[in-house]
Structure 1
Amino acid sequence: MTTLEIGRPTAPAPTPTQPSAGRGAGVRWGAVGRPVLRVLRSAVVVWIPVVLLSTFITFGLGALTDTNPAAQVLGETATPADIDRMNHYFGLDRPFLVQYFSWLGHALTGDFGRSYYTTLPVSDSITQALPVNVSITIVALLLGILFGGALGVGAALSGGGWFDRGVTMLCSAASTVPPFVIGIGLIVLFSVTLPVLPSGGYVPIDQDFGQWLRFAILPALALSVDVAVAIARQLRTSLVGELRENYVVGAEVRGLTRRRVVFGHALRNASGPAVTVLGYYVPQVIGAMVVAEAVFNLPGLGKLSLDAAAKGDIPVIQGVLVTMIGLVVLSNLLVNAALLRLTPHAKRREQ
C-alpha cells in the first residue's frame, strides 16, 4: 500500500470543465474583486465626511444670508402674515439643524426642494441642465486622454529627439493659457476665420447627434487642453522610466517586438501617475464648465446657478452645488477603481 493510500482520502481530480472554471473564476475575483472593494470602501469612508462638511457649508451659506426669501417672492406689498405663511410653506420657520438634516435627507434622494420664484422642483431644472455638463465634460476628458496619451507615448519613444522636445515646448506653452482664452481663440479660428463650427448654443444629444457634436466640440476642446498637457507630461516621464526596467530589456531579448513590449506591458505599468493626474483634473474640468458655458452660451448648471444667484433663489443654488459635489465624488471613485485595475502593483499592496 502506498503512502497516498494510507493518508487522508483525496478528492477526485476536477473535470476540465465546470469545477476548474469555477475555481478560476474564484481566483480572478479574489485577485481583482476584493482589492477593488477595499479601495472603494476606503474611498467612501473618506468621502462621507467630505460630503457632510461640504453640504453643511452649502446649506449654511444659504441660511446665513440677510435676505428673506419669502419677502422677496411676495414683494413689497406683502403683509407680515403673508411672509410668515410663505416661510412656513418653505420650512424656513424651523431651527437651522432641523432644516439642514431635513434638506440633506431629501437631497440624498434627489429632491432639492422647490424654487422660491417658480415653485417648480429644483431637480427638474437640474435634470434639464445636467446633460449639458456631463456630455461635454466626458468629451473633453476623452479628447484629453486621446491627445495627451498620444503625445506622452510619442515623446517617451522619441527619447530626447525632436518630437520629445516639441511636445515639451508645446505643453509648457499650453499650460499657461486659461481655458476661456483657448475657447475664444477656437471661436475666432473655427467660427469666424473658418466658419465651419457654431460659436455657441446647444442641441440635446438625443435630438440630433450630429448637431450636438458640432456644438460640443469647441467647448470640449477648450476644456481638454489642461488634461492633455498633464497626461502627456506624466505619461512621458513614467513611460521613460518603465522602458529602462529590466523586464523590458529581458522581453526584447526574448524576441518580443518593441510594439508588444511597450503597449502590452510598459504602458500599463506606466499609466498609474497619468490616471492619478486625471482624477485631479476631473473636478477642474467640471468647475471650468461654468466659464465655458458663458463663453459658448451653453444652458448648463453654471448658467442655472448664475441666474438663481441673481434672483437669490437659494434652493436652486444649493441643488446645483450638491450636484457638483456628487459629480466630483463619483468621478474620483471611478478614477480610483480604474487606477487599481490598470496598475497590478496597487492590487498587490491591497492584498
Structure 2
Amino acid sequence: MPQLTETSTEDQQLLDKLRPSRIVLPVLIGLSVVGFMFWRSYKPGDLAPLANAKPLWLLLMLVVLVARDAGYVYRIRYLTQKVLSWRAALDVIMLWEFSSCVLPSAVGGTAVAPVLLHKEGIPLGKSVAYIMATAMLDNLYYVLAVPLVVLIGGDALYPHEALQGGLVATLRIGFILSYVFVTVYALLMLYAIFINPQSVKRLLVRLFTLRGLRRWRNKAYKMGNEMVLASAELRNNGRAYWLRAALSTAFVWTARYLVIGCLIAAFIDVSWPEFWLIFGRNLTYKVILLIAITPGGAGIAEGAFPTFFGKFIGTATMTNFMVLIYRVVTYYLYLVLGAVFLPRWVARIYGKPKVAQIMHS
C-alpha cells in the first residue's frame, strides 16, 4: 500500500507540473513584454528589411531546428540503450521541452525528465543516471565551447554598445562565475560517475552541514545517492557509447546556438565574422537565462535579446520583430507541441480517462 501511495503521489506531481494551464502565464508575460517593446519603438518604415527576406536562410533555420530536436531524440534513445522506442523518445523530448517552457529556467525540464523515463518502463535509478549523463555532457559542451568563443570573439562577446561600463563588468563577472560553477559541477559529476561516487557523496553532505547551507542538506544527500546510482549504471559502458553521446550532445547544442544567427541572416546582411560572433554571444546571453525566475525565462529572454543582438539587426522595431520570431520558433512552438503531445502521452501511459482530467486541470 505505501508503494502504491508513493507512485500515485509521483504521478500527481508529474501531471501537475505538466498541466496545460501552465501555458497561460509564460505566454502572457512574454507577449506582454514584446508588445510593450513594439509600442515603445514601432516605426513602420523600420520593417523594410522584411521585403528582402532570404528564403535559403529561413529554410536553414528550420532545418537547424528540426535537426536539433532529431538530435535530442537520437541522444536519449541511445543513452537509454534503445530501451525507448523512437516514438517514446520523441514523446519524452517533446514533454521535456514543454516542461522547460512552463517551469522556471533554474529548474528546467531536468526535474521532470527522470520521471518521464520511469513512466516509459525504465527503473527510476537508471532514469536518474541517464538524465545525469545528459546534464554532465551538456555542461561539458559549455565548458569546452566557452574558451573557443572567447578566443574568437574576445571582448566583443559582451554588448558594450548597449550597456554602460558598470553593467558590462557585472555581466562579465556573472559570465566568469557561471563558467567556473558549470566547470566545477561538470568535473564533480565526471569524478562521481567514473572514479569515486562515495567520496563525492560524503563531500556534498559535509558541505551542506555548514551554516547557511543546512536547509539544502537533504537535497544534497539525495543528489549524492543519485550520483552513486548513476555511477553503477554508467561507468562500465564502452567508449562507443560515450563517443556517440558526446557527438550527439555537441550536435544538438551547436544547432541550438545557430538558430539566432540563421534568423538574423535571413533578413539582415551579416558577414561570417559577425555570424560567429552572434553564435558566441549566445553563450553570454545564456547567463541571463540561467538566473531567470519566470517559466522558461518568459519576459526576461525577450527583454534581454535586443541588448545582445540588436547591434547586428539595426532598428529597434526590426529587433523586436526578430525577438518575436525567435521566441515563436524556440519557445511558443514547444508550448503548442507540448499541448499536442501531452494528451497522447497521458493516454498511452495512464489510459484515456486520465486525459480529460489533466486537460481540464
* TM-score normalised per structure 1: 0.34
Higher fraction of helix: 2
Structure with larger Rg = 1
RCO comparison, higher one (Cα < 8 Å, 6+): 2
The two structures have a TM-score, normalised by structure 2, of: 0.33
